[in-house]
C-alpha cells in the first residue's frame, strides 16, 4: 500500500508506530519534521520512498499546497501526524477527505 505521510514540522515521533503493516511505499514532501522522519524511516526499513518537493519557480506561493495535493493523490491512503495547528497538514487532510481518500489523523502535541 502506498502511504502518504504528512505532518507538522515541529513534531518528533516514531513514524513506524503510525504506518499500516502493509506499507509498500512512502510518499512525502521533503520538509523538516514529519516528512524528514518518514523519509528516514523508509530508508532505514528498505521501503521505497517518493519525495515531492514544492515547485516554487512554476507555482509561486501556491507550490506547497499543490505539492500536498499531489502527495495525497499519489497515495492509497494518508497518514497525517498533526500538531492541530499546521495549515499545510490541515490542507492535506481536507484534500484527502474531499477526494474520498482514506486518511488517519493523529493529533500529537509538541
Q: What is the pLDDT of residues 71-110, one digit of tens each?
A: 999 999 999 999 999 999 999 999 999 999 999 999 999 8
Range of the domain at 71: 2-107
- Residue range 19-36: average pLDDT? 97
Mean pLDDT over each residue of the chain, to the nearest integer: 97
Question: 76: number of CA atoms within 13 Å, CB side?
Answer: 10
**41 pLDDT above the threshold of 90:** yes
pTM metric for this prediction: 0.94
Q: 10: which DSSP letter?
A: T
Residue 101 CA to residue 68 CA, distance in Å, equals 13
**49 pLDDT above the threshold of 90:** yes
CATH number at residue 32: 3.40.50.450
Helix axes 87-98, 63-74, angle to 10 degrees: 40
Total structural domains within the chain: 1
Amino acid at each position: 500500500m502506498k502511504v502518504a505521510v504528512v505532518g507538522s514540522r515541529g513534531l518528533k515521533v516514531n513514524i513506524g508506530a503510525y504506518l499500516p503493516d502493509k506499507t509498500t511505499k512512502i510518499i512525502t514532501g521533503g520538509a523538516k519534521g514529519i516528512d524528514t522522519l518518514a523519509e528516514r524511516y523508509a530508508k532505514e526499513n528498505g521501503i521505497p520512498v517518493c519525495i515531492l518537493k514544492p515547485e516554487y519557480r512554476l507555482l509561486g506561493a501556491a507550490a506547497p499546497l499543490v505539492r500536498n495535493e499531489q502527495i495525497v493523490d499519489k497515495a492509497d491512503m494518508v497518514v497525517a501526524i498533526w500538531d492541530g495547528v499546521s495549515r499545510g497538514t490541515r490542507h492535506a487532510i481536507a484534500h484527502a477527505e474531499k477526494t474520498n481518500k482514506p486518511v488517519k489523523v493523529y493529533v500529537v502535541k509538541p
